[in-house]
Amino acid sequence: MTVTIVGSQLGDEGKGGVVDLYGDPADVVVRYQGGDNAGHTVVEDGTEYKLSLVPSGAVRGKVGVLGNGCVVNPATLFEEMDGLRDRGLEPDVRVAERAHVILPYHRVLDGIEEEVKSETDSAVGTTGRGIGPTYEDKAGRRGVRVGDLLDEDVLRERIEYVVPQKRALIEDVYGVDVDDLEDPDAFDVDAVYETALEYGERLAAEDMTVDAGNFLAEKRAAGENVMLEGAQGTVIDIDHGNYPYVTSSNPTAGGAATGSGLAPTVIGQGEVVGIVKAYLTRVGRGPLPTELAGVEGQTPGYDGHAGDDEEELATYIRDEGGEYGTVTGRPRRVGWLDLPMLRHSTRVNGFTGLAVNHVDVLAGLDEVKVGDSYTLDGEEIETLPSTTERWAECEANLRTFDGWPEVDWDDVDEYEDLPENARAYLEYVSDELETDIYAVGVGPDRDQTVVLESPYDD
Protein backbone atom coordinates (compact mmCIF):
# COMPACT_ATOMS: atom_id res chain seq x y z
CA MET A 1 0.00 0.00 0.00
CA THR A 2 1.02 3.62 -0.28
CA VAL A 3 1.29 6.23 2.44
CA THR A 4 1.49 9.84 1.31
CA ILE A 5 2.91 12.48 3.62
CA VAL A 6 1.73 16.04 2.94
CA GLY A 7 2.54 19.35 4.62
CA SER A 8 -0.75 20.91 5.72
CA GLN A 9 0.52 24.44 6.20
CA LEU A 10 3.33 26.51 4.69
CA GLY A 11 6.13 23.94 4.68
CA ASP A 12 8.58 23.15 7.47
CA GLU A 13 6.02 21.12 9.42
CA GLY A 14 8.57 18.41 10.20
CA LYS A 15 7.64 16.04 7.38
CA GLY A 16 11.11 14.50 7.25
CA GLY A 17 10.84 13.17 10.78
CA VAL A 18 7.43 11.60 10.10
CA VAL A 19 8.62 10.08 6.84
CA ASP A 20 11.54 8.68 8.72
CA LEU A 21 9.36 7.29 11.48
CA TYR A 22 6.55 5.88 9.37
CA GLY A 23 8.96 4.88 6.63
CA ASP A 24 10.22 1.87 8.53
CA PRO A 25 7.93 -0.62 6.79
CA ALA A 26 8.36 1.24 3.49
CA ASP A 27 10.79 -0.10 0.93
CA VAL A 28 10.71 2.88 -1.38
CA VAL A 29 10.35 6.59 -0.56
CA VAL A 30 9.35 8.86 -3.43
CA ARG A 31 9.46 12.61 -3.74
CA TYR A 32 6.83 13.77 -6.20
CA GLN A 33 7.46 17.52 -6.58
CA GLY A 34 9.85 20.34 -5.83
CA GLY A 35 13.60 20.23 -5.88
CA ASP A 36 16.46 21.40 -3.70
CA ASN A 37 14.26 24.13 -2.21
CA ALA A 38 12.98 21.58 0.32
CA GLY A 39 15.08 21.57 3.43
CA HIS A 40 14.46 18.56 5.61
CA THR A 41 16.28 17.51 8.72
CA VAL A 42 16.44 13.91 9.79
CA VAL A 43 17.92 13.05 13.17
CA GLU A 44 19.17 9.53 13.61
CA ASP A 45 20.90 8.44 16.80
CA GLY A 46 21.62 12.05 17.61
CA THR A 47 23.22 12.66 14.21
CA GLU A 48 21.56 15.34 12.17
CA TYR A 49 21.25 15.01 8.41
CA LYS A 50 20.24 18.13 6.54
CA LEU A 51 19.02 17.33 3.07
CA SER A 52 17.31 19.38 0.41
CA LEU A 53 16.86 16.94 -2.47
CA VAL A 54 17.62 13.37 -1.48
CA PRO A 55 14.43 11.81 -0.02
CA SER A 56 14.73 11.50 3.77
CA GLY A 57 14.15 7.74 3.53
CA ALA A 58 17.60 7.36 1.97
CA VAL A 59 19.13 8.00 5.40
CA ARG A 60 17.47 4.79 6.56
CA GLY A 61 18.52 2.53 3.75
CA LYS A 62 15.36 2.86 1.63
CA VAL A 63 15.37 3.25 -2.10
CA GLY A 64 14.78 6.96 -2.69
CA VAL A 65 13.06 8.06 -5.91
CA LEU A 66 12.86 11.56 -7.31
CA GLY A 67 9.66 11.35 -9.32
CA ASN A 68 8.78 12.93 -12.63
CA GLY A 69 7.12 15.85 -10.82
CA CYS A 70 10.44 16.94 -9.33
CA VAL A 71 12.93 19.40 -10.71
CA VAL A 72 16.39 18.03 -10.16
CA ASN A 73 19.63 19.90 -9.80
CA PRO A 74 22.17 17.12 -10.32
CA ALA A 75 24.93 19.23 -8.72
CA THR A 76 22.97 19.27 -5.43
CA LEU A 77 22.04 15.62 -5.77
CA PHE A 78 25.65 14.52 -6.16
CA GLU A 79 26.82 16.79 -3.36
CA GLU A 80 24.24 15.37 -0.94
CA MET A 81 24.96 11.80 -1.95
CA ASP A 82 28.70 12.33 -1.55
CA GLY A 83 28.07 13.89 1.88
CA LEU A 84 26.03 10.87 3.00
CA ARG A 85 28.69 8.51 1.69
CA ASP A 86 31.34 10.41 3.62
CA ARG A 87 29.30 9.70 6.73
CA GLY A 88 29.20 6.00 6.03
CA LEU A 89 25.76 5.71 4.40
CA GLU A 90 25.05 4.12 1.05
CA PRO A 91 22.16 6.10 -0.40
CA ASP A 92 20.26 4.35 -3.20
CA VAL A 93 18.61 7.15 -5.17
CA ARG A 94 16.80 6.82 -8.51
CA VAL A 95 15.80 9.75 -10.65
CA ALA A 96 12.84 9.83 -13.02
CA GLU A 97 13.84 10.23 -16.64
CA ARG A 98 10.77 12.43 -17.01
CA ALA A 99 11.87 14.84 -14.25
CA HIS A 100 13.12 18.22 -15.39
CA VAL A 101 16.67 19.38 -14.81
CA ILE A 102 17.63 22.61 -13.08
CA LEU A 103 20.48 24.06 -15.10
CA PRO A 104 22.79 26.92 -14.08
CA TYR A 105 20.78 29.61 -15.91
CA HIS A 106 17.65 28.73 -13.92
CA ARG A 107 19.22 29.83 -10.67
CA VAL A 108 20.48 33.06 -12.17
CA LEU A 109 17.03 33.82 -13.59
CA ASP A 110 15.40 33.09 -10.24
CA GLY A 111 17.65 35.69 -8.61
CA ILE A 112 17.14 38.30 -11.32
CA GLU A 113 13.37 38.01 -11.30
CA GLU A 114 13.26 38.32 -7.53
CA GLU A 115 15.45 41.39 -7.71
CA VAL A 116 13.22 43.01 -10.31
CA LYS A 117 10.11 42.21 -8.26
CA SER A 118 11.69 43.62 -5.13
CA GLU A 119 11.70 47.04 -6.80
CA THR A 120 7.91 46.99 -6.46
CA ASP A 121 8.01 45.19 -3.12
CA SER A 122 6.54 42.07 -4.73
CA ALA A 123 9.39 39.58 -4.40
CA VAL A 124 8.16 36.12 -3.43
CA GLY A 125 11.17 35.38 -1.25
CA THR A 126 12.12 32.25 -3.17
CA THR A 127 14.90 29.96 -2.05
CA GLY A 128 16.87 31.07 -5.13
CA ARG A 129 17.34 27.50 -6.31
CA GLY A 130 15.90 28.04 -9.79
CA ILE A 131 12.71 26.14 -9.03
CA GLY A 132 10.21 28.53 -10.65
CA PRO A 133 12.21 29.09 -13.87
CA THR A 134 12.62 25.32 -14.32
CA TYR A 135 8.90 24.61 -13.94
CA GLU A 136 8.26 27.54 -16.30
CA ASP A 137 10.40 25.84 -18.94
CA LYS A 138 8.64 22.54 -18.31
CA ALA A 139 5.24 24.15 -18.95
CA GLY A 140 6.72 26.11 -21.87
CA ARG A 141 7.94 22.86 -23.48
CA ARG A 142 11.50 24.08 -23.60
CA GLY A 143 12.83 22.20 -20.60
CA VAL A 144 15.62 19.64 -20.40
CA ARG A 145 14.61 16.34 -18.84
CA VAL A 146 16.78 13.85 -17.03
CA GLY A 147 16.31 11.44 -19.93
CA ASP A 148 17.71 14.08 -22.30
CA LEU A 149 20.97 14.12 -20.35
CA LEU A 150 21.59 10.58 -21.51
CA ASP A 151 21.45 11.33 -25.23
CA GLU A 152 24.09 13.77 -26.37
CA ASP A 153 22.37 14.70 -29.63
CA VAL A 154 19.02 15.41 -28.04
CA LEU A 155 20.74 17.29 -25.24
CA ARG A 156 22.70 19.45 -27.67
CA GLU A 157 19.54 20.26 -29.63
CA ARG A 158 17.61 21.25 -26.49
CA ILE A 159 20.42 23.43 -25.17
CA GLU A 160 21.08 25.10 -28.50
CA TYR A 161 17.41 26.06 -28.58
CA VAL A 162 16.98 27.28 -25.04
CA VAL A 163 20.23 28.92 -23.93
CA PRO A 164 20.28 31.73 -26.56
CA GLN A 165 16.67 32.51 -25.54
CA LYS A 166 17.71 32.81 -21.92
CA ARG A 167 20.65 34.99 -22.84
CA ALA A 168 18.37 37.28 -24.85
CA LEU A 169 15.91 37.35 -21.96
CA ILE A 170 18.38 38.58 -19.43
CA GLU A 171 20.12 40.97 -21.80
CA ASP A 172 17.20 42.42 -23.70
CA VAL A 173 14.44 42.25 -21.10
CA TYR A 174 16.31 42.57 -17.83
CA GLY A 175 19.21 44.63 -19.21
CA VAL A 176 21.85 42.47 -17.55
CA ASP A 177 25.25 42.06 -19.20
CA VAL A 178 26.08 38.35 -19.09
CA ASP A 179 29.77 39.11 -18.71
CA ASP A 180 29.04 40.95 -15.46
CA LEU A 181 27.52 37.84 -13.92
CA GLU A 182 29.35 35.75 -11.37
CA ASP A 183 28.84 32.77 -13.66
CA PRO A 184 28.71 33.97 -17.29
CA ASP A 185 29.02 30.31 -18.38
CA ALA A 186 25.43 29.81 -17.24
CA PHE A 187 24.40 31.42 -20.55
CA ASP A 188 27.00 29.83 -22.82
CA VAL A 189 25.76 26.98 -25.01
CA ASP A 190 28.97 24.97 -24.94
CA ALA A 191 29.54 25.39 -21.20
CA VAL A 192 25.97 24.43 -20.30
CA TYR A 193 26.15 21.48 -22.67
CA GLU A 194 29.38 20.22 -21.09
CA THR A 195 27.98 20.57 -17.57
CA ALA A 196 24.76 18.80 -18.51
CA LEU A 197 26.62 16.04 -20.30
CA GLU A 198 28.72 15.42 -17.19
CA TYR A 199 25.56 15.20 -15.12
CA GLY A 200 24.21 12.59 -17.52
CA GLU A 201 27.43 10.60 -17.50
CA ARG A 202 27.46 10.31 -13.73
CA LEU A 203 23.75 9.47 -13.54
CA ALA A 204 24.31 6.74 -16.12
CA ALA A 205 27.50 5.47 -14.49
CA GLU A 206 25.68 5.09 -11.18
CA ASP A 207 22.65 3.59 -12.92
CA MET A 208 20.38 6.14 -11.27
CA THR A 209 17.81 6.93 -13.93
CA VAL A 210 14.48 5.12 -14.16
CA ASP A 211 11.06 5.32 -15.70
CA ALA A 212 9.68 6.16 -12.28
CA GLY A 213 6.07 5.12 -12.92
CA ASN A 214 7.10 1.68 -14.16
CA PHE A 215 9.75 1.31 -11.49
CA LEU A 216 7.18 2.01 -8.76
CA ALA A 217 4.54 -0.22 -10.35
CA GLU A 218 7.03 -3.08 -10.39
CA LYS A 219 7.91 -2.49 -6.75
CA ARG A 220 4.25 -2.54 -5.82
CA ALA A 221 3.63 -5.67 -7.86
CA ALA A 222 6.46 -7.30 -5.91
CA GLY A 223 4.60 -6.48 -2.68
CA GLU A 224 6.81 -3.60 -1.60
CA ASN A 225 5.49 -0.65 0.39
CA VAL A 226 5.77 2.77 -1.18
CA MET A 227 5.83 6.05 0.72
CA LEU A 228 5.30 9.35 -1.05
CA GLU A 229 6.96 12.32 0.55
CA GLY A 230 5.58 15.75 -0.22
CA ALA A 231 7.88 18.74 0.04
CA GLN A 232 6.74 22.26 1.04
CA GLY A 233 3.09 22.56 2.09
CA THR A 234 -0.50 22.99 0.95
CA VAL A 235 -0.63 26.77 1.31
CA ILE A 236 2.38 27.21 -0.97
CA ASP A 237 0.91 24.86 -3.60
CA ILE A 238 0.78 26.58 -6.99
CA ASP A 239 -2.95 25.80 -7.36
CA HIS A 240 -4.28 25.65 -3.82
CA GLY A 241 -1.87 27.99 -2.09
CA ASN A 242 -1.67 31.73 -1.70
CA TYR A 243 -0.63 32.66 -5.20
CA PRO A 244 1.76 34.29 -6.07
CA TYR A 245 3.54 33.57 -2.77
CA VAL A 246 3.81 29.93 -3.65
CA THR A 247 6.28 27.43 -4.95
CA SER A 248 5.83 26.28 -8.54
CA SER A 249 4.61 22.73 -7.95
CA ASN A 250 1.80 20.76 -6.26
CA PRO A 251 2.75 19.61 -2.75
CA THR A 252 -0.91 18.57 -2.26
CA ALA A 253 -1.96 14.93 -2.42
CA GLY A 254 -3.07 15.15 -6.07
CA GLY A 255 0.54 15.90 -6.94
CA ALA A 256 1.54 12.54 -5.51
CA ALA A 257 -0.17 10.87 -8.47
CA THR A 258 0.90 13.17 -11.28
CA GLY A 259 4.39 13.52 -9.86
CA SER A 260 5.11 9.82 -9.40
CA GLY A 261 3.30 7.98 -12.18
CA LEU A 262 1.13 6.07 -9.71
CA ALA A 263 -2.58 6.44 -10.39
CA PRO A 264 -4.81 8.67 -8.22
CA THR A 265 -6.76 5.54 -7.33
CA VAL A 266 -3.59 3.95 -5.98
CA ILE A 267 -2.75 7.00 -3.88
CA GLY A 268 -6.39 7.31 -2.79
CA GLN A 269 -6.65 3.72 -1.63
CA GLY A 270 -3.72 4.33 0.67
CA GLU A 271 -3.31 6.72 3.57
CA VAL A 272 -2.75 10.45 3.24
CA VAL A 273 -1.21 11.81 6.41
CA GLY A 274 -1.28 15.57 6.98
CA ILE A 275 1.66 16.97 8.88
CA VAL A 276 0.69 19.84 11.16
CA LYS A 277 3.05 21.98 13.16
CA ALA A 278 1.44 22.90 16.51
CA TYR A 279 1.94 26.56 15.60
CA LEU A 280 2.72 28.21 12.29
CA THR A 281 5.81 29.37 10.49
CA ARG A 282 6.33 30.95 7.15
CA VAL A 283 9.43 31.79 5.13
CA GLY A 284 9.06 34.66 2.74
CA ARG A 285 6.25 37.10 2.10
CA GLY A 286 2.49 36.70 2.04
CA PRO A 287 -0.29 36.99 4.60
CA LEU A 288 -0.23 35.26 7.96
CA PRO A 289 -3.32 36.33 9.95
CA THR A 290 -2.19 34.65 13.18
CA GLU A 291 1.34 36.05 12.98
CA LEU A 292 3.08 37.07 16.19
CA ALA A 293 5.32 40.12 15.85
CA GLY A 294 7.01 39.89 12.41
CA VAL A 295 10.29 39.57 10.57
CA GLU A 296 11.72 42.55 8.75
CA GLY A 297 11.94 42.07 5.02
CA GLN A 298 9.39 39.24 5.11
CA THR A 299 6.30 40.49 6.95
CA PRO A 300 4.46 42.99 4.77
CA GLY A 301 4.26 46.36 6.51
CA TYR A 302 6.32 45.30 9.52
CA ASP A 303 8.74 47.98 10.67
CA GLY A 304 10.53 46.09 13.42
CA HIS A 305 8.17 47.06 16.24
CA ALA A 306 5.28 44.90 17.33
CA GLY A 307 5.38 45.41 21.10
CA ASP A 308 7.66 43.74 23.60
CA ASP A 309 5.40 40.85 24.59
CA GLU A 310 4.73 39.74 21.05
CA GLU A 311 8.38 40.08 20.07
CA GLU A 312 9.41 38.07 23.09
CA LEU A 313 6.89 35.32 22.41
CA ALA A 314 7.79 35.09 18.72
CA THR A 315 11.50 34.96 19.49
CA TYR A 316 10.91 32.34 22.17
CA ILE A 317 8.98 30.05 19.82
CA ARG A 318 11.41 30.66 16.96
CA ASP A 319 14.41 29.78 19.09
CA GLU A 320 12.80 26.84 20.90
CA GLY A 321 11.62 25.40 17.61
CA GLY A 322 14.85 26.12 15.73
CA GLU A 323 12.78 28.05 13.22
CA TYR A 324 15.48 29.11 10.82
CA GLY A 325 15.43 27.98 7.18
CA THR A 326 17.23 24.68 6.53
CA VAL A 327 18.15 25.78 3.03
CA THR A 328 18.59 29.53 3.47
CA GLY A 329 19.13 30.06 7.22
CA ARG A 330 16.49 32.81 7.20
CA PRO A 331 14.53 33.38 10.44
CA ARG A 332 11.00 32.11 9.92
CA ARG A 333 7.92 34.18 10.66
CA VAL A 334 5.95 32.70 13.55
CA GLY A 335 2.20 32.58 14.26
CA TRP A 336 -0.44 30.64 16.12
CA LEU A 337 -2.05 27.59 14.60
CA ASP A 338 -4.57 28.61 11.95
CA LEU A 339 -7.69 26.45 11.71
CA PRO A 340 -9.15 28.03 8.55
CA MET A 341 -5.88 27.09 6.86
CA LEU A 342 -6.09 23.54 8.18
CA ARG A 343 -9.73 23.15 7.11
CA HIS A 344 -8.74 24.19 3.58
CA SER A 345 -5.84 21.79 3.66
CA THR A 346 -7.91 18.89 4.96
CA ARG A 347 -10.43 19.32 2.15
CA VAL A 348 -7.83 19.65 -0.61
CA ASN A 349 -5.81 16.64 0.52
CA GLY A 350 -8.42 14.35 2.06
CA PHE A 351 -6.26 13.54 5.04
CA THR A 352 -6.88 10.14 6.57
CA GLY A 353 -4.81 11.06 9.63
CA LEU A 354 -2.76 13.86 11.15
CA ALA A 355 0.68 14.01 12.69
CA VAL A 356 1.03 17.05 14.94
CA ASN A 357 4.62 18.12 15.51
CA HIS A 358 6.49 20.45 17.84
CA VAL A 359 4.01 20.16 20.70
CA ASP A 360 7.00 20.39 23.06
CA VAL A 361 8.00 23.79 21.63
CA LEU A 362 4.88 25.44 23.07
CA ALA A 363 5.38 23.92 26.53
CA GLY A 364 5.86 26.38 29.35
CA LEU A 365 3.66 29.12 27.87
CA ASP A 366 0.83 30.34 30.13
CA GLU A 367 -1.59 30.19 27.29
CA VAL A 368 -1.62 28.93 23.75
CA LYS A 369 -3.80 30.54 21.12
CA VAL A 370 -5.34 29.27 17.93
CA GLY A 371 -6.91 31.14 15.03
CA ASP A 372 -10.31 29.44 15.19
CA SER A 373 -11.97 31.40 12.37
CA TYR A 374 -11.52 34.67 10.50
CA THR A 375 -13.55 37.82 10.24
CA LEU A 376 -13.76 39.17 6.71
CA ASP A 377 -16.01 42.14 5.86
CA GLY A 378 -17.69 41.76 9.23
CA GLU A 379 -18.57 38.12 8.61
CA GLU A 380 -17.12 35.07 10.24
CA ILE A 381 -15.54 32.59 7.83
CA GLU A 382 -14.09 29.19 8.56
CA THR A 383 -11.77 28.61 5.63
CA LEU A 384 -9.37 30.48 3.34
CA PRO A 385 -10.59 32.99 0.78
CA SER A 386 -9.35 32.09 -2.69
CA THR A 387 -7.37 35.23 -3.34
CA THR A 388 -4.33 36.20 -1.38
CA GLU A 389 -5.41 39.83 -1.25
CA ARG A 390 -8.67 38.83 0.46
CA TRP A 391 -6.76 36.53 2.79
CA ALA A 392 -4.61 39.50 3.81
CA GLU A 393 -7.80 41.29 4.88
CA CYS A 394 -8.81 38.48 7.22
CA GLU A 395 -8.60 39.01 10.92
CA ALA A 396 -8.02 35.92 13.00
CA ASN A 397 -10.50 35.17 15.79
CA LEU A 398 -8.27 33.70 18.42
CA ARG A 399 -9.30 31.04 20.87
CA THR A 400 -7.22 30.63 24.01
CA PHE A 401 -6.13 27.33 25.54
CA ASP A 402 -4.43 26.86 28.88
CA GLY A 403 -0.75 26.17 28.35
CA TRP A 404 0.97 22.93 29.26
CA PRO A 405 4.09 22.49 31.35
CA GLU A 406 7.55 21.54 30.22
CA VAL A 407 8.01 17.87 31.07
CA ASP A 408 10.68 15.32 30.37
CA TRP A 409 9.59 14.49 26.84
CA ASP A 410 11.71 11.37 26.78
CA ASP A 411 9.24 9.93 29.31
CA VAL A 412 6.29 10.58 27.02
CA ASP A 413 5.73 7.25 25.28
CA GLU A 414 1.94 7.03 25.15
CA TYR A 415 -0.71 9.54 24.27
CA GLU A 416 -1.89 9.47 27.91
CA ASP A 417 1.59 10.58 29.01
CA LEU A 418 1.10 13.94 27.30
CA PRO A 419 0.16 16.83 29.59
CA GLU A 420 -3.63 17.10 29.89
CA ASN A 421 -3.81 20.58 28.36
CA ALA A 422 -1.76 19.46 25.37
CA ARG A 423 -4.25 16.63 24.84
CA ALA A 424 -7.16 19.08 25.03
CA TYR A 425 -5.44 21.15 22.33
CA LEU A 426 -4.87 18.13 20.10
CA GLU A 427 -8.42 16.88 20.53
CA TYR A 428 -9.78 20.28 19.53
CA VAL A 429 -7.73 20.14 16.31
CA SER A 430 -8.80 16.58 15.58
CA ASP A 431 -12.49 17.37 16.21
CA GLU A 432 -12.47 20.51 14.10
CA LEU A 433 -10.84 18.70 11.18
CA GLU A 434 -12.80 15.48 11.73
CA THR A 435 -9.56 13.60 11.32
CA ASP A 436 -7.80 11.26 13.70
CA ILE A 437 -4.43 12.07 15.17
CA TYR A 438 -1.94 9.41 14.14
CA ALA A 439 1.17 10.81 15.78
CA VAL A 440 2.35 13.58 18.08
CA GLY A 441 5.89 14.93 17.83
CA VAL A 442 7.48 16.01 21.11
CA GLY A 443 11.08 16.42 19.99
CA PRO A 444 13.32 16.18 16.97
CA ASP A 445 14.58 12.65 17.49
CA ARG A 446 12.90 9.68 15.88
CA ASP A 447 11.83 8.17 19.19
CA GLN A 448 10.38 11.47 20.39
CA THR A 449 7.12 10.85 18.59
CA VAL A 450 4.06 9.35 20.21
CA VAL A 451 2.52 6.99 17.69
CA LEU A 452 -1.21 6.35 17.89
CA GLU A 453 -1.62 4.74 14.48
CA SER A 454 0.92 3.26 12.08
CA PRO A 455 -0.55 3.64 8.63
CA TYR A 456 1.09 0.55 7.09
CA ASP A 457 -0.49 -1.65 9.78
CA ASP A 458 -4.04 -1.19 8.47
Residue 280: strand pairing partners: 335
Residue with Cβ nearer ligand IMP (225 or 247): 247
Strand, coil or helix: what is 149?
helix
Choose, by CB under 6 A, the member of 14, 16, 23, 39 that binds ligand IMP: 39
Residue with Cβ nearer ligand IMP (200 or 335): 335
CA-nearest of 383, 358, 368 to 433 is 383
Cα-Cα-Cα-Cα torsion 406, 407, 412, 417, nearest 10 degrees, comes to -90
Residues 230 and 56 sit within 8 Å (Cβ to Cβ):
no
Q: How far is the CB of 453 from ligand IMP (least distance, A)?
A: 26
| Among 36-44, 198-206, 260-268, 366-374, the segment contacting ligand IMP (CB under 6 A) | 36-44
Q: Is 170 left (phi over 0), alpha (psi -120 to 50) or beta?
A: alpha
> For residues 145-204, which are near ligand IMP according to CB under 6 A?
none
d(CA 217, CA 220): 5
Catalytic (active site) residue 12? yes
> For residues 261-290, which are near ligand IMP according to CB under 6 A?
283-284
- What is the Cβ-side half-sphere exposure of residue 205, based on CA atoms within 13 angstroms? 7
Residue with Cβ nearer ligand IMP (73 or 225): 73
Is 357 an interacting residue with respect to ligand IMP (CB under 6 A)?
A: no
Residue with Cβ nearer ligand IMP (210 or 273): 273
Residue with Cβ nearer ligand IMP (129 or 158): 129
> Is the preceding omega at residue 340 within 30 degrees of 0, hence cis?
no
Catalytic-labelled residue, pool 40, 106, 240, 344: 40
Q: How far is the CB of 252 from ligand IMP (least distance, A)?
A: 14
CA-nearest of 186, 306, 255 to 30 is 255
Task: Provide the sign of the torsion angle of the four alpha carbons 432, 433, 435, 438, taken in this order.
Answer: negative
Is 11 an interacting residue with respect to ligand IMP (CB under 6 A)?
A: yes
Is 429 an interacting residue with respect to ligand IMP (CB under 6 A)?
A: no
Residue with Cβ nearer ligand IMP (236 or 293): 236
Is 298 an interacting residue with respect to ligand IMP (CB under 6 A)?
A: no
**Helix intervals (H) in 87-188:** 104-118, 131-139, 152-168
Taking CA atoms, 452 is separated from 168, 274, 354, 355, 429, in Å, by 56, 14, 10, 9, 15
Q: Widest CA span of the chain, in angstroms?
A: 65
Catalytic (active site) residue 413? no
Q: How far is the CB of 32 from ligand IMP (least distance, A)?
A: 14
Q: How far is the CB of 232 from ligand IMP (least distance, A)?
A: 5
Is 299 an interacting residue with respect to ligand IMP (CB under 6 A)?
A: no
Residues 100 and 69 sit within 8 Å (Cβ to Cβ):
no
Choose, by CB under 6 A, the member of 49, 245, 374, 404 that binds ligand IMP: 245
Which helix or strand (DSSP H or E) is residue 234 part of? none
Which helix or strand (DSSP H or E) is residue 348 part of? helix 339-349
Choose, by CB under 6 A, the member of 2, 4, 33, 37 that binds ligand IMP: 37
| Among 21-29, 35-43, 147-155, 250-258, the segment contacting ligand IMP (CB under 6 A) | 35-43
Q: How far is the CB of 214 from ligand IMP (least distance, A)?
A: 28
The 117-156 site mask, x for binding ligand IMP (CB under 6 A), equals: -------xxxx-x-xx------------------------
Residue with Cβ nearer ligand IMP (127 or 250): 127
- The burial class, CB within 10 Å (0-12 / 13-18 / 19+), for 139 is exposed
Strand, coil or helix: what is 178?
helix
Q: How many residues sit in the footprint of ligand IMP (CB under 6 A)?
A: 20
| Among 195-203, 244-252, 311-319, 416-424, the segment contacting ligand IMP (CB under 6 A) | 244-252
d(CA 279, CA 47): 25
Is 38 an interacting residue with respect to ligand IMP (CB under 6 A)?
A: yes
Task: Provide the sign of the torsion angle of the four alpha carbons 253, 255, 259, 265, taken in this order.
Answer: positive
Q: How many CB atoms lie within 10 A of CB 262?
A: 24
Residue with Cβ nearer ligand IMP (59 or 283): 283
Q: How far is the CB of 359 from ligand IMP (least distance, A)?
A: 20
Residues 344 and 240 sit within 8 Å (Cβ to Cβ):
yes
Residue with Cβ nearer ligand IMP (242 or 352): 242
Taking CA atoms, 263 is separated from 62, 227, 268, in Å, by 22, 14, 9
> For residues 220-239, which are near ligand IMP according to CB under 6 A?
231-232, 236
Catalytic-labelled residue, pool 12, 36, 137, 372: 12
Length of the chain in terms of residues written: 458
Q: How far is the CB of 415 from ligand IMP (least distance, A)?
A: 28
Q: How far is the CB of 86 from ligand IMP (least distance, A)?
A: 24
d(CA 229, CA 4): 6
User: Which amino acids are annotated catalytic?
Assistant: 12, 40
Residues that bind ligand IMP (CB under 6 A): 11-12, 37-39, 124-127, 129, 131-132, 231-232, 236, 245, 247-248, 283-284
